Amino acid sequence: MHNIIATCKNQEKTNLLGLSPTKMIDFFASIGEKQFRASQVLQWIHQRGIDCFSEMTNLSKSLRDKLTTIAMVQPPKVSYFKESTDGTCKWIIQVTSGSLVEAVYIPENDRGTLCVSSQAGCALDCSFCSTGKQGFNSNLSSSEIIGSLWIANKHLAQLKQPKKVTNVVFMGMGEPLMNFDNVVDSMQLMMHDLAYGLSKRKVTLSTSGVVPALLKLADYTNASLAISLHAGTDELRNQLVPINRKYPLKQLIAAVKHYMDSLSDSKRVVTIEYTLLAGINDLPEHAKSVAKLLKNIPCKINLIPFNQFPGSDYQRPSNNAIHRFQRSLVEQGFYVTIRKTRGDEINAACGQLVGSIEDKTKRNQRHLQKLASKTTKNAETITF
């Protein structure tokens, strides 16, 4: 594993890994080089996974030497890697602050989704989230965020059965809109033809509702959006998602509409994530308030049965309660999926492996009951 990770060490050098396409052009301009050099280097780094300038053979020898002196391509350090029997892969990555974050790869028939982190810890303290319980530690740099994708692609290509990342979701640790600039730079790389070339539908930013940042997001990207809703009334959401006290549902829904309107594509929908907590937000009255709130929003709803972790205050609902909740929303005309648990044996649920690495006695996910698959016209079980 370690041999695939970059070897450059000098902190004084500019790390080209996280430079957005525009910033890469600016960098080459600043050293008196033409724009096409930025395109070449972007392709070497992101499409071929090269981290040493000496291997970038279509650059002149003098430029390669110059880059070696002033720049580097340095991904973050991988502390741990594990592949689950169902093909799910998990990386624990050590970022500059010394904190550990994670990235998870979930293979499915026709795609492979990488779940990336944007922050070490999170300040927003949602009551059911293990990342929130850690508090905020640091923002990831754009090299650390895109570095997760760079590492994953490189590593997946070396597996016995090589795989590829086709989709990226910002559903790992942290709140992406609290690390706006670095997240936007990394998304631009994910979606740029000279880098990863993922389409706007295949990169999804998930937010708990940082309204001012969501309002400005449309000026920077047209990626897909997921909103972590978890409640249909302010009274309940204030308890579960404290940022709601600052930016209540009326403001959040207006910001979602603003973003969706900016996409100028009537077929795009926002994903609504709803973590189901037994007896707290999984009753018929809760489904009713969600349906009322979302009635004019083009959306699909993804129900996430609560992933228990040591010290958590909540329970995962029964399968009956989960399917009852799904049915009541389907009956109101919504498209509703249930997130399937994957990679249990490596604690692939977001935010959970870091905890179990720090305390190896925790085997919190292994025995969780798996949801039975259920497919109806408007309801199915999916992973992301």
The Cα 54–Cα 61 span in angstroms is 8
Q: Does 102 bind ligand SAH (CB under 6 A)?
A: no
Q: Least distance from C-beta 353 to ligand SAH, angstroms?
A: 13
Burial of residue 350 (CB within 10 Å: 0-12, 13-18, 19+) is buried
Instruction: Indicate which of ligand SAH, ligand SF4, none lies near residue 281 (CB less than 5 to 8 Å, by partner kind).
Output: none
Closer CB to ligand SAH, 16 or 187, in the complex: 187
Closer CB to ligand SF4, 175 or 282, in the complex: 175
Instruction: Indicate which of ligand SF4, ligand SAH, none lies near residue 144 (CB less than 5 to 8 Å, by partner kind).
Output: none
Instruction: Indicate which of ligand SF4, ligand SAH, none lies near residue 307 (CB less than 5 to 8 Å, by partner kind).
Output: ligand SAH
Q: Least distance from C-beta 132 to ligand SAH, angstroms?
A: 7
Q: Does 206 bind ligand SAH (CB under 6 A)?
A: yes
Summarize as ranges the residues that interact with ligand SF4 (CB under 6 A). 122, 124-126, 129, 131-132, 174-175, 208, 228
The Cα 278–Cα 314 span in angstroms is 7
Contact 125, 115 (CB under 8 A): no
Quick one: CA torsion of 181, 186, 187, 188, rounded to 10 degrees? 90
**Annotated catalytic residue 358:** no
Instruction: Indicate which of ligand SAH, ligand SF4, none lies near residue 125 (CB less than 5 to 8 Å, by partner kind).
Output: ligand SF4
Among 275, 326, 328, 364, binds ligand SAH (CB under 6 A): 275
Among 99, 139, 307, 341, binds ligand SAH (CB under 6 A): 307
**Catalytic-labelled residue, pool 83, 102, 175, 273:** 102
Maximum distance among all alpha carbons in the chain? 69
Q: Does 179 bind ligand SAH (CB under 6 A)?
A: no
Tally of helices (H runs) and strands (E runs) in the chain: 13, 15
Closer CB to ligand SF4, 198 or 350, in the complex: 350
Please report, in angstroms and rounded to a whole number, the separation of the first and last CA atoms in the chain. 27
Cβ neighbours of residue 163 under 8 Å, at least 6 residues apart? 87, 105, 107, 112, 156, 157
DSSP 45-78: IIIT----GGG-TTS-HHHHHHHHHHEE--PPEE
**Residue length, the chain?**
384
Q: Least distance from C-beta 2 to ligand SAH, angstroms?
A: 28
Using CB under 6 A as the binding rule, the residues of this chain from 347 to 366 that contact ligand SAH are 350-351
Q: What letter represents residue 248's amino acid?
A: P
Using CB under 6 A as the binding rule, the residues of this chain from 230 to 259 that contact ligand SAH are none
Pair of tokens at residue 100: 């550990």
Q: How many residues bind ligand SAH (CB under 6 A)?
A: 18
The Cα 326–Cα 329 span in angstroms is 5
The Cα 327–Cα 303 span in angstroms is 11
Contact 93, 101 (CB under 8 A): yes
Q: Does 228 bind ligand SAH (CB under 6 A)?
A: yes
Q: Does 341 bind ligand SAH (CB under 6 A)?
A: no
**Annotated catalytic residue 350:** yes
Q: Does 171 bind ligand SAH (CB under 6 A)?
A: yes
Q: Annotated catalytic sites, by residue? A: 102, 350
Query: Contact residues for ligand SAH (CB under 6 A)?
Result: 126, 128-130, 170-171, 175, 206-208, 228, 273, 275, 304, 306-307, 350-351
